[in-house]
Amino acid sequence: MGNGLLQSIADNVIFVAVCVGVAAALFAIAYGTEKYVQKRNEVTERILTTRKITMIGLFSALAVILHMMDFPVPFLAPGFYQLDFSEIPALVGAFAFGPVAGVMIEFCKILLKLVIKGTSTAFVGDLANFVIGCSLVLPASIMYMFKKTKKRAVAACVAGSLLMTVFGSAFNGVYLLPAFSKLFGMPLEAIIAAGAEINGNIHNITSFVIFAVAPMNIVKSAAASGVTMLIYKPLSPILKNANPVIERRSAGKISNSGNA
């Protein structure tokens, strides 16, 4: 019993360390990229201004509401996989205020959800939602930040969706599912069996992520990207008023034709 307890503690410590490391890496990528673009566009304003922080808070509140309205999709994946559309506020916020804002919205969303609702997946699902959400929001917002046109916005959403699907599926297979099995106490065989009940092509971890996880990520990323493309343009004038200095400074760097 003593060895089992020690192993459980070690597993949890390792998982927490992975969570902190992943979050730090994502923030570092977002911050470094945004600083580079600011320097290139000769923008001297701080990345996190009071107005940006206020808007991050607003979008985080919207994101956590959508996150808590998650629901199972029993014809795609077992019930412990929940679909939500909380990446929509994060992606809109990231397009408007930059990659750092997008990552912060994703991070604050998870913190708020844990405070309000707690966790039902030994925190594995919460890490998955944060990391996989960022795998859409971060690359898409970085691409869009370099050239703010409608075509670039579409290309950014497509690239982000592809990365989310590929990375999210691989991350589930390599780390998240084994971690969930250990921390939640559900054998991998039981997870695979739950997937096999839905899709007869599922018979191991690889086929599980291909036929269950990947479709969930495709639906989620496509919905977030599609809604963002529909609502961002009408919201853009309002959001730009919340970030006037950056918009004025970068106006000379952005093509006026086809702006998104």
Q: Is 63 in contact with 116 (CB distance < 8 Å)?
A: no
| Helices 214-241 and 150-171, axial angle in degrees (round to 10) | 140
**CA angle 154-29-31, nearest 5°?**
95
**Helix%, strand%, coil% for the chain, nearest 5:** 80, 0, 20
Query: How far is residue 70's CA from residue 57's CA, in Å, rounded to a whole number?
Result: 20
Query: 3-state class of 32 per DSSP?
Result: helix
| 171 phi, psi to nearest 5 deg | -65, -40
Cα of 164 vs its chain's centroid, Å: 8
SS (H, E, C) 165-202: HHHHHHHHHHHHHHHHHHHHCCCHHHHHHHHHHHCCCC
Is residue 158 packed enough to be buried (19+ CB in 10 Å), middle (13-18) or exposed (0-12)? middle
248/117 Cα distance (integer angstroms): 41
pTM as predicted: 0.85
Say if CB 141 and CB 91 are below 8 A apart.
yes
Give 163's contacts (C-beta < 8 A, 6+ positions apart). 135, 136, 139
Give residue for tokens 């607003």.
58
Give 78's Cβ-side CA count (13 Å radius).
15
Asked if 100 and 48 touch (Cβ cutoff 8 Å), the reply is: yes
Domains of the chain, each with CATH number or no CATH: 10-250 (1.10.1760.20)
> Other CB atoms closer than 10 Å to residue 184's CB: what's the count?
16
Tell me, what's the pLDDT at 255? 40
d(CA 190, CA 126): 21
Determine the pLDDT at residue 249: 45
Give the separation between CA 159 and CA 202, rounded to whole angstroms.
Answer: 27
- The tens-digit pLDDT sequence of the chain (260 residues) is 445 545 555 556 777 788 888 889 999 999 999 999 888 887 777 888 888 999 999 999 999 999 999 999 989 999 888 899 999 999 999 999 999 999 999 999 999 999 998 887 778 888 889 999 999 999 999 999 998 899 999 999 999 999 999 999 999 999 989 988 888 778 999 999 999 999 999 999 999 999 999 999 999 999 999 999 999 988 888 877 755 444 444 444 434 445 55
Q: How far is CA 252 from CA 42, 109, 147, 205, 241, in A?
A: 11, 34, 12, 50, 17
* pLDDT recorded at residue 44: 77
Residue with tokens 């869009």: 144
